[in-house]
Amino acid sequence: MTSSAEHCRLDHASPYALRWSACLTRADGGSYVAATALARAQRGRGRPVGTSKTAAAVPAPGAAAPDAGPGLHVELHGIDVIADVDRKGTPRQLFWPWFGANVSVLGLSYGSFVLGFGISFGQALLVGLVGIVGSFLLCGFIAVAGKRGSAPTMVLSRAAFGVRGNKLPSAISWLLTVGWETVLAILATLAVATVFHRLGWGGGGAVKVIALLVVAGLVVAGGVMGFDVIMRMQAVITVVTGVLTVGFVVLVLDHIHWHAVAAIPGGSTQKVVGALVFVMTGFGLGWVNAAADYSRYLPRSSSAAGVVGWTTFGSSAAPVVLLLFGLLLAGSSGKLSSAISADPIGALANILPTWYLVPFVVVAVLGLVGGSVLDIYSSGLALLSLGLRIPRYAAALVDGTVMVLGTIYVVFVAGNFIAQFEGFLTTLGVPIAAWCGVVLADLALRRRPYADVELYDRTGRYGDIRWSAIALVVVATVLGWGLVTNSAASWLDWQGFLLRPLGLGGKAGAWAFANLGVLVALLAGFLATPLFAVSSIRRQEVLPITVDPGTGSAPAQP
């Protein structure tokens, strides 16, 4: 295994190394800005749990009127609560969108990333199982809030932070989702150029322009049309990507050498912890801020255990298998592992026969487009939850415009900007972990369904601004930043400031590369929330529920 920072070159030769957890510094000095983008790329392909018919409701902003019913139409649902009469499906159906969301040939690259921490195959496999299943279990818990309240994740978060107090996490969530949809559009555009260059068809400006037009057209169209159209697109992407990924695996089986895999030496506790944090942030923790967006169509009577179980199983099954094969592939050749770390698309393409390169670029680009489409949908909902009074499809169009402009800038103007941008998004990832801890604790403390009408009323039981929750996220974030190191951008050198005062060896010590700050932020939010929230939640739950389950009416938000 190579130990140089070449694992994460961020230039046009190796443009695929992105997503927020991956910028956390690795034990050998490299920074894996590659991985979490790949997790995002794998998400979001499957059929919905029910339909997106609009309730007979007083719509919140972004839900101006009822949808037209089945067929190809623009979804008019926004951040309103779905009426009980329009909720349908069972928890079992959650398996399909979550499974399809995580089936992609790019998931194989995680084998190289995890082994790059300097751990053995057995340690890496254990880290993968615990990290993938454990992090998606958090998504399963948050998905329960969706079936309880039938509103988007960042609206349900108002129960913990207050109606206007939730603007802070909503803003962070919007920045992250619109940022990562831009990153994935960039990667899809450059993926086409990379494979076309390998085929000898060129890979210059003209190819990139055409690729950008196709990618942006699919992503923006899906985001504007909304949930039903997105899920139909994702169903097609799921089948195509799944079949072509199986084809890839069959074609590269002869690159696996068991003796080389078994000979990989074990690593220290710090390296194992670092790999675990990396996997958790690359998979489930990168998805928690939108986890309830897909369970909100389930009936209120749906089993909470079923929602958790099927969400976790569906989302974990494919990544576990892909990681296993990726570990075998990367562990068989140090040279191949190094190449995958630097440029997953190029490295994986190089071990394929030429005749399979076109199917390969199709599977790679579709995976990236699938992730970006879901990001644009969730980023639009996050934008509406900030209080912007426009229809949902207009919010998606705004986000799509930002995505296109960002892609043009990075691909055609300033390619080296990507590392700086990645560092910014990584820095925002720590407060999302803190937010996740607060919301999970708040959800665990509640025994009754949400009073969904009052999620839009700052004079209601959830209040206007819950300063204790906001302060907790701020404190947990500061602690988290103090315990991570980030080499994606020089302006982030201030991070890791608590490593030396706490006796963890400073920024050059072994614990610096474990990136404990992510876990600390998550646990601080979760463990401290009951100290501030128990009494207020009990007071809220003695009040009668102010929702009409027949209409799911939601007044205009303040």
Q: What is the pLDDT of residues 403-451, one digit of tens each?
A: 999 999 888 887 666 566 667 767 888 999 999 999 999 999 998 889 8
| Bridge partner list, 25 | 31
The per-residue pLDDT for 4 is 36
DSSP letters for 243-307:
HHHHHHHHHTGGG--HHHHHTPPP--HHHHHHHHHHHHHHTGGGTGGGGGGGTTTS-TTS-HHHH
In a domain, 22, yes or no: yes
Both tokens of 181, joined, read: 């949809």
Averaged over 311-328, what is the pLDDT? Answer: 92
Beta-carbon contacts of residue 494 (< 8 Å; ≥ 6 apart):
none
- Cβ distance 131 to 279 under 8 Å? yes
Beta-carbon contacts of residue 291 (< 8 Å; ≥ 6 apart):
138, 139, 140, 142, 143, 146, 153, 311
Round to whole Å and give the CA distance between 481 and 365: 33
Beta-carbon contacts of residue 413 (< 8 Å; ≥ 6 apart):
none
Beta-carbon contacts of residue 253 (< 8 Å; ≥ 6 apart):
none
CA 364 from centre of chain: 17
Q: Report how many domains make up the chain.
A: 1
Averaged over 194-202, what is the pLDDT? Answer: 85
In a domain, 531, yes or no: yes
CA 125 from centre of chain: 22
Q: What angle do CA 224, 225, 231 make, to 5 degrees?
A: 120
Q: Whose structure tokens read 């962070």?
A: 172
pLDDT band at 232 (very low <50, low <70, confident <90, very high): confident
- pLDDT at residue 553 greater than cutoff 70: no
In a domain, 26, yes or no: yes
The per-residue pLDDT for 422 is 61
Round to whole Å and give the CA distance between 35 and 488: 13
Q: Whose structure tokens read 């961020």?
A: 10
Is 178 or 9 the better-scoring residue by pLDDT?
A: 178
In a domain, 551, yes or no: no
CA–CA distances in Å: residue 519 to residues 316, 328, 489, 525, 534:
20, 28, 22, 10, 23
The per-residue pLDDT for 136 is 96
Is 421 or 171 the better-scoring residue by pLDDT?
A: 171
CATH number of the domain encompassing residue 528:
1.10.4160.10
Q: For a pLDDT cut of 90, what percent of the chain falls above it?
A: 43
Residues 72-96 pLDDT 10s: 788 777 888 888 887 888 998 888 7
Range of lowest pLDDT (31-45, 195-209, 392-406): 31-45
The per-residue pLDDT for 417 is 61
Residues 10-52 pLDDT 10s: 233 333 333 434 344 444 434 433 444 444 444 433 333 333 3
Q: Where is mean pLDDT largest: 222-236, 283-297, 340-354?
A: 283-297
> Exposure of 259 by Cβ count < 10 A (0-12 exposed, 13-18 middle, 19+ buried)?
exposed
Averaged over 181-199, what is the pLDDT? Answer: 85
pLDDT band at 554 (very low <50, low <70, confident <90, very high): very low
Give the SS3 label for residue 486.
strand
The per-residue pLDDT for 237 is 83
Averaged over 285-299, what is the pLDDT? Answer: 87
In a domain, 552, yes or no: no
Q: Whose structure tokens read 């592992």?
A: 337
Round to whole Å and give the CA distance between 173 and 220: 19
Beta-carbon contacts of residue 148 (< 8 Å; ≥ 6 apart):
156, 300, 446, 449, 450
- pLDDT at residue 301 greater than cutoff 80: yes
Q: Whose structure tokens read 């614990």?
A: 511
- Cβ distance 46 to 231 under 8 Å? yes
Round to whole Å and give the CA distance between 264 and 281: 25
- pLDDT at residue 215 greater than cutoff 70: yes
CA Rg value for the chain: 22
The per-residue pLDDT for 421 is 64
Averaged over 151-161, what is the pLDDT? Answer: 95
Round to whole Å and give the CA distance between 314 and 429: 24
Round to whole Å and give the CA distance between 211 and 404: 12
Is 70 or 279 the better-scoring residue by pLDDT?
A: 279
Range of lowest pLDDT (2-16, 27-41, 166-180, 336-350): 2-16
- pLDDT at residue 263 greater than cutoff 60: yes
Averaged over 55-77, what is the pLDDT? Answer: 51
pLDDT band at 101 (very low <50, low <70, confident <90, very high): confident
Averaged over 313-333, what is the pLDDT? Answer: 92
Q: What is the mean pLDDT of the chain?
A: 81
Both tokens of 545, joined, read: 């529920």
The per-residue pLDDT for 118 is 94
In 3D, which of 73, 54, 74 has the Cα closest to residue 65? 54
Residues 267-289 pLDDT 10s: 999 999 999 998 998 888 888 99
Domain that holds residue 37: 5-541
CA 430 from centre of chain: 13
In a domain, 361, yes or no: yes
Residues 103-143 pLDDT 10s: 777 788 889 989 999 999 999 999 999 999 999 999 999 99
The per-residue pLDDT for 258 is 93
- Cβ distance 135 to 276 under 8 Å? no
CA 257 from centre of chain: 33
Give the SS3 label for residue 31.
strand
The per-residue pLDDT for 38 is 44
Range of lowest pLDDT (299-313, 378-392, 482-496): 482-496
| Bridge partner list, 486 | 24
Averaged over 492-514, what is the pLDDT? Answer: 90
Averaged over 162-167, what is the pLDDT? Answer: 96
Round to whole Å and give the CA distance between 35 and 411: 20
Q: What share of the chain is helix, strand, coil (3-state, %, to 5)?
A: 65, 0, 35
Is 66 or 459 the better-scoring residue by pLDDT?
A: 459
